[in-house]
Structure 1
Amino acid sequence: ATTGSVKLQARRAKNSEEHTRRLYDFSQKLASAQNADQMIDLAMQYLHDQLGCPVLYLEDENDIRENRERIVGEIGGFVSDAIEHSAISDCFREVCDTGVGTIHSPYARFHYIPVPGSSGMLGCIGLLWNKGIAEEEIQEHVRAILAQTGISLERQRLAEERNRAAMTADREKLRSNLLRSISHDLRTPLTGIIGASAAIEENGDSIGAKETRKLAADIHEDAEWLLRMVENLLSVTRVSQVAELKKSEEAAEEVIVEAVSRCKKRFPDAQIRVDLPEDDMLFVPMDATLIVQVLINLMENAVRYAQTPIDIGLRRDGAWAEFSVRDFGPGIADDKKENLFDSVQAQPDSRRGGLGIGLTLCRSIITAHGGEIWEVNHPDGGAQFLFTLPLEEEEK
């Protein structure tokens, strides 16, 4: 009896050591998973490989009714009948093992085990034992695997919640910046329009045709500026109110041509030179309307503040498409670079005293596309704005 007991303890110790090693290996794989779906797939595949039985996963008890269950292995014509529904409901309601080998719905075919979380169940795993109910030692190992999976799932969900909170904070910050810029930037052109139109209305007969035309030109310019501001505001609303942009494959060259065409309509005298790849047509997943708005904002800033020719460039940089807009003016002062994209930046030579929300909007749009935008002073003179967009849609 003593010898048998020692052998049993030795066998259990060996199995425990093996289970600990496998649990460690499994934890390493979980740590490298990119999202919750990958974590669940890893757990199901591990259980299937180690136990040699089909594995079923349900995130909630309605999954089986709506055919959303996930299965690894052949289940031999499994039918979601009332007994299985009852076992699944008991598992979620009682938060305990149900199904075959338990006191809850013991006539079910599957053995359902909860995936635990700190604030409740994260789902349940169903095991279809092929050779009868497994030993308690193996069931404990299964529970350890599910506990480790639950910890990783909760960590992933907390990270996603933090990201959503950060995105919400960024949107609120953007809205605050918009309110500040709108209160200042819209007041100045509106005041100019009111003053010029009042002068024409009250003194139109006495100020002469030349002065009247000048006042009318000022009204026209102020109205166009207001129109651009409204377009920017609409773009900001479009970016901030959707969780995910609706992107489609667009020819980057055609997007640049559209932006240049629209900019030339507003600034007919602007000199814009475009350098496109000769033998490489770049198709980029994007919201074309928003990217056109980014290019227009960058070109209009160059026209208004540098008053020089503008070079537009496009090239492939590995898995990215890189766009550039360069002017030949004095460049950006070092003390303004740090917060260039964060808030409204005043320009001393600007008639209205500010850039509006152009650069802030540009950064928001490019970030929403998964790209980056930055500014450098070109070695040969002038400011150059560059931004990148991924050539392939990121896997969800």
Structure 2
Amino acid sequence: MLKENIELSESLGASFKEIYGEDVIMTIADYAKANHITDLYIGMSGQDRKQTVSKRLTKLLPDIDIHIIPDERSELQPSGLRNRRETERYIIKDTMKLIFIMTIATIVSLLFYHSSYSNANIITVYILAVLVASIMTSEKRFGVLAAVLYILLFNFLFIDPRFTLRVYDPSYMVTYFVSICAAVLTGTLSAQMKESMKNAKDSAYQARVLLNATKLLEKAETEDELFTITVNQLIQLLGRDIVLFSIEDNRLSSPIHHHVRGQSETESMSESDIEIANWVYKNRTRAGAFTGRFSDSCYQFLAMITGEEVYGVIAIDMNDREFTEVEQTILLSIIGECSIRMENRRIARERENAVILAESERFRANLLRSISHDLRTPLTSISGDAYTLMNSESELSHDERLQIYTDVYDDSMWLINMVENLLSISKLNEGVKLNKTAEVLEDVLEEALKHVDRHVSEHKIVKCFDHEFLMAEMDTRLIMQVVVNIVNNAIKYSSEHSTIRVSDERDGGDIVVRIEDDGPGISDEDLPHIFDSFYTGHHSVADAGRSLGLGLSLSKSIIEAHGGSITAYNVKPHGAGFSFRLKIKEIA
């Protein structure tokens, strides 16, 4: 039945723990205090036990609500009877233990006596019984009572004249005195042993808290999570309210109070306490209650520090109670672990920033090198055509002049497109907020197709737009640039009279735009790198030729800035395809 109930409770999300101890009530009370339990539910399996448990736990746990779940067969007892039974139960329990131990010792001693063993052996048996009684009973007085019984029994049963309490040999008085001292000493040692057991349980619990804290801190992804985990673990460990000061702009933030009962809120602190917190932040050492500095405060302040960096200040409400040695050790360990995690995050950010900076410098160097190289060709061509027109226009035929005009137009449009791409890259890199508006996608696609390369007339554009009225929030100019870049890419690397298909469709909550051609397609070698900056491929793909290799890379950045995705693929039987997704804008 018990196993079934445990399995049922665990299936409903409860946590089951087995705890051990000599005194069940004390063990429950210690566990409840250590885990900061607010409500305690106890099943009643018998009248006497129910009253004993509730009474003792009420005294031991005055701040915890104790609920008794009654048995259907239980009957209420008068309060006077409950109190008497509570007292009698513990007296009878320890008395029965004492009687049992002394009875066994007496039986063994009688066997020794009739086996002609010396009285010294019998004394040893009784002293052992006194030791056992002192350990097994709950109070020191039962150990003393065991010593008195030992003296009486030994004198009555084994000292001549037997069956009297007369003492003829004065040396036995010394033995009796030593026995009493041994009983008192044993009782004291027993109490110390029980205290040691309690400390061992506390140490095991606190070690478990530290292990749990370490595991949780390993999973934290942000500084706020690190602070929250640290504060919660300290509250669980210490059972005290905690105030957290994080660091904002190289100074302490407003204090956030975390209470044992679970609330977290911003509350005002006294000016003196805030001054202490700032002093701890600047001097990187503890202060406050139970320290040599600002000891009048009710808080103890500790800096979360690693090396030269301070990540926060923690103030702990001491409640006029100093930390135990174990609490102090675990407290510093948890704070130190949190500080190390924050230090690791800072170092990781610095490394990431260094990588980004190096990548940015590499990108800038490649960009400048590519610009200086690629601008030379169209500018040289424009300059040469202009020189020809200035000096030999009258000698040129109409068709020759028209060809020169066309070349100048193509070169200038290429320069305009390149500048647009560079401006868009700069805009995205600087984190400029996108100018999003709700637009009909079909209208944007139609407008973009009006701005593609003039050689589009040599190809067949097939538009397959969804009949549904599809809208999306977008930066119209940037989305048009994506379409222009992809279509121009298809125009460059598809043969004349090839077909370029532009389509859109709804896919769940997304709009999917596809641009496909029937050209040679993209090689397997180039496909994984098709969206890389400055990548021009090995087989005349992407922005190869007179190109910076930025068009498709920019297109990917634009789509991702809109929260969408873009992919490249090959179509069958031949050709290249690009598709990108945008979140659909539902019309209310």
Give, in whole Å, the separation in 2 of the partners of 1:185 and 1:310: 27
Alignment of 1:76-155 (within 5 A): 79-130=268-319, 132-155=321-344
Q: Give unmatched runs, 5+ long, in structure 1.
A: 392-396
Q: Distance in 2 between matches of 1:159 and 1:46?
A: 25
Q: Secondary structure at the match of 1:60?
A: strand
2-side partners of 1:373 and 1:36: how far apart?
33
Corresponding residue for residue 174 of structure 1: 363
Question: Does the 8 Å contact 2:209/2:233 carry over to 1?
Answer: no
Contact 1:61 1:92 in 2 (8 A): no
> Relative to 1, partners in 2 of residues 1:57 and 1:187: Cα closer, same or farther, differing over 3 Å?
same
Given that 1:189 and 1:352 are in contact with CA atoms closer than 8 Å, whether structure 2 keeps it comes out as: no
Paired letter, 1:112 = F
Does 1:189 pair with 2:378?
A: yes
Letter in 2 for 1:10: M
What one-letter code is carried by the residue in structure 1 that aligns with 2:552?
A: L
Structure 1 range deviating more: 45-54 or 226-235: 45-54
Alignment deviations for residues 339-359 of structure 1 (CA, whole Å, 9 cap, x no partner): 432424167699992332213
Q: In structure 1, which of residues 198, 202, 214 is the aligned counterpart of residue 391 of structure 2?
A: 202
Q: 2:144 matched to which residue of 1?
A: none
Mapping of residues 30-41 of structure 1, within 5 Å: 30-41=217-228
Identify which of 257, 277, 281 aligns with 1:71. Answer: 257
More helix by share: 2
| Match for residue 26 of structure 1 among 203, 213, 231 | 213
Instruction: Indicate which of 403, 419, 430 corresponds to 1:230.
Output: 419
Say yes or no: does 1:261 pair with 2:447.
Answer: yes
Q: Partners of 2:504 and 2:246 in 1: how far apart? A: 46
Unaligned runs of 5+ in 2: 1-187
Mapped partners of 1:168, 1:320: distance in 2: 35
In structure 1, the residue matched to 2:551 is 358
Deviation larger for 45-54 or 80-89: 45-54
Task: Report if aligned partners of 2:535, 2:542 keep a CA contact under 8 Å in 1.
Answer: no
Instruction: From 324, 345, 361, give the equivalent of 2:536.
Output: 345
1:296 matched to 2:487: no
Deviation at 1:226, TM superposition (A): 0.4
Q: Does the Cα contact within 8 Å between 1:260 and 1:272 map onto a contact in 2?
A: no
State the percentage of identical aligned residues: 27
Quick one: structure 1 residues 351 and 201, their matched pair in 2 at CA, closer, same or farther if it must change by over 3 Å?
farther
Amino acid at match of 1:123: G
Against the structure 1 CA distance between its residues 64 and 235, is the aligned structure 2 distance closer, same or farther, given a 3 Å change threshold? closer
Q: Which residue pairs with 1:331 in the alignment?
A: 521
Partner AA of 2:491 in structure 1? V
Letter in 2 for 1:198: Y
Whether contact under 8 Å (2:441, 2:470) holds in the other structure is: no
Query: Secondary structure at 1:186's aligned position in 2?
Result: helix
CA separation of 1:367 and 1:118: change in aligned 2, threshold 3 A: farther
Contact kept? 2:502, 2:514, Cα under 8 Å:
yes
Distance change in 2, residues 1:364/1:79 (3 Å): closer
* Separation (CA, whole Å) in 2 of partners of 1:389 and 1:16: 57
What value does the CA root-mean-square deviation take over the aligned residues?
3.6
Q: Please tell me whether the aligned partners of residues 98 and 112 of structure 1 are also in contact (alpha carbons under 8 angstroms).
A: yes
Change (3 A) 1:134 1:287: farther
What residue in structure 1 maps to residue 433 of structure 2? 246
2:571 is the alignment partner of 1:378: yes
User: Could you list the per-position Cα deviations for residues 17-76 of structure 1 after superposition, in whole angstroms to 9, with x for gaps in the alignment?
Assistant: 1111122222222222221111112222333344343322222398887x6333323699
- SS of equivalent to 2:396: coil
Deviations 1:189-232 (A, max 9, x none): 11111111111111111102222122112111111110111111
Deviations 1:307-351 (A, max 9, x none): 644334556778876554322211013343354324241676999
**Aligned AA for 2:376?**
R
Give the 3 Å change call, closer, same or farther, for CA 247–228 of structure 1 in structure 2: closer
Q: Secondary structure at the match of 1:353?
A: coil
* 1:210/1:77 CA distance change after superposition, 3 Å: closer
So what's the TM-score if we normalise by structure 1? Answer: 0.82
Q: Secondary structure at the match of 2:247?
A: coil
**Structure 2 contact 470–511 (Cα < 8 Å) conserved:** no
Q: Deviations over 1:261-310 (max 9, x none)?
A: 13413446462525459487555xx7665444333212221122226443
- Contact kept in structure 1, 2:255 and 2:266, CA below 8 Å: no
Counterpart AA for 1:145 = I
1:19 partner amino acid: Q
Deviation at 1:139, TM superposition (A): 3.1
CA contact (8 A) 1:114 1:123 kept: yes
2:138 alignment counterpart: none
Identify if the C-alpha distance between structure 1 residues 292 and 23 changes in structure 2 by more than 3 Å, giving closer, same or farther: farther
Write the deviation string for residues 85-112 of structure 1: whole angstroms up to 9, x where unpaired: 3211221233222122222222234221
Distance 1:169 1:7, change over 3 A: same
Which letter does structure 1 place at the counterpart of 2:258? V
In structure 2, distance between residues paired with 1:166 and 1:218: 42
Residues in 2 aligned to 1:173 and 1:336: alpha-carbon distance in whole angstroms: 22
Counterparts in 2 of 1:75 and 1:43: CA distance versus 1, 3 Å: closer
Aligned match for 1:165, one of 354, 362, 373: 354
Q: Match for 2:398: what amino acid?
A: A
Give the count of matched residue pairs.
386
For 1:384 and 1:4, the matched residues in 2 are separated by 83
